[in-house]
């Protein structure tokens, strides 16, 4: 017989971050399956408890915080300046990104009132800073932000309503160097995180049109470049590149986790470990 886990067992194994091999096990009988489930659950619970002890006694900080620190240090060493901008943005700033009421992303926005929302992306604020920094700094202007974004994403192992974005941008570089620069920035981030064997794939974004994505099984990052049709809304005329990564997905890939829900802000998980163990 080719018996697999029950839906409840499969859900529990995913919650405990079982490996793909553990989740794909097959059995000759329901009795053998249930015995194996008890064994696997026990091992995963022990591993989770050990990880929580390491957090308490050694690490002191969750992995996503340590990852953010690594990225900030790597980027600032390469001449990028970190910025911190508001989480609440205006409906008008989203409209400048082409996200109006008929846009697919509009329905995913968390609205606070008729004119304000929780930011679904970092780009509007970075565009705003660019316009002022062009008066104050010499080009190229290299800035980045690590911040929380919010979208009404579908529930699942790859999506979060509240997630952490890294967005790094460079404004005022030679136009013929944009593709090379995007590859360099992708390499900088992925090398810092410790993820190898990724691919750069051309795809299409609901905001930026054609983009270059960083992919390893799943999308880890997405890039864009200008001059772009959106630039006129912000008074930007210089060539630029930008690339954004979801930190929870990066951490999920780095730690070979099966569930992005365990990587982010949560009261159910702590540092990737399910707390009902």
Domains of the chain, by residue range, sit at 7-60, 63-262
- Cβ neighbourhood burial of 231 (10 Å; 0-12, 13-18, 19+): middle
Which band of pLDDT confidence, cut at 50, 70 and 90, is reported for residue 20?
confident
Q: For 109-126, how does the pLDDT look when each residue is reduced to its tens digit (9 = 90+)?
A: 999 999 999 999 999 999
Torsion from C-alpha of 242, 246, 247, 249, nearest 10 degrees: -140
pLDDT given at position 180: 93
Say if residue 156's pLDDT is above 70. Answer: no
Torsion from C-alpha of 121, 126, 128, 132, nearest 10 degrees: 170
If one compares 205 and 174, the residue with the highest pLDDT of the two is: 174
pLDDT given at position 256: 87
**Most confident among 2-6, 157-161, 189-193, 201-205 (mean pLDDT):** 189-193
Q: For 8-18, how does the pLDDT look when each residue is reduced to its tens digit (9 = 90+)?
A: 999 999 899 89
Token pair listed for 16? 């405990």
| 93-118 average pLDDT score | 92
Tell me yes or no: is domain 7-60 CATH 1.10.357.10: no
Say if residue 100's pLDDT is above 90. Answer: no
CATH class label, 63-262: alpha beta
């Amino acid at each position: 017989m080719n018996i697999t886990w029950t839906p409840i067992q499969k859900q529990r194994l995913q919650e405990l971050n079982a490996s793909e091999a553990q989740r794909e096990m097959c059995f000759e009988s329901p009795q053998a399956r249930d015995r194996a489930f008890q064994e696997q659950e026990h091992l995963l619970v022990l591993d989770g408890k050990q990880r929580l002890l390491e957090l308490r006694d050694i690490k002191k900080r969750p992995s996503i915080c340590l990852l953010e620190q690594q990225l900030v240090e790597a980027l600032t060493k390469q001449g990028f300046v970190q910025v911190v901008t508001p989480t609440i943005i205006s409906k008008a700033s989203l409209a400048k990104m082409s996200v109006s009421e008929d846009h697919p992303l509009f329905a995913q926005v968390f609205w606070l009132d008729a004119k304000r929302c929780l930011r679904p992306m970092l780009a509007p604020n970075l565009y705003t800073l660019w316009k002022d920094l062009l008066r104050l700094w010499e080009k190229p202007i290299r800035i980045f932000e690590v911040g929380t974004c919010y979208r009404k994403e579908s529930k699942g192992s790859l999506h979060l309503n509240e997630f952490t974005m890294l967005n790094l941008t460079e404004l005022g570089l030679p136009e013929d160097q944009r593709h090379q620069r995007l590859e360099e920035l992708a390499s900088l981030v992925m090398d810092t995180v410790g993820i190898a064997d990724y691919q750069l794939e051309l795809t299409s974004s609901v905001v930026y049109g054609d983009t270059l994505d960083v992919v390893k099984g799943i999308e880890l990052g997405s890039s864009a470049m200008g001059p772009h049709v959106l630039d006129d809304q912000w008074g930007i005329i210089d060539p630029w590149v930008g690339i954004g990564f979801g930190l929870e997905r990066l951490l999920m890939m780095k730690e070979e986790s099966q569930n992005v829900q365990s990587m982010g802000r949560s009261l159910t998980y702590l540092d990737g470990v399910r707390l009902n163990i």
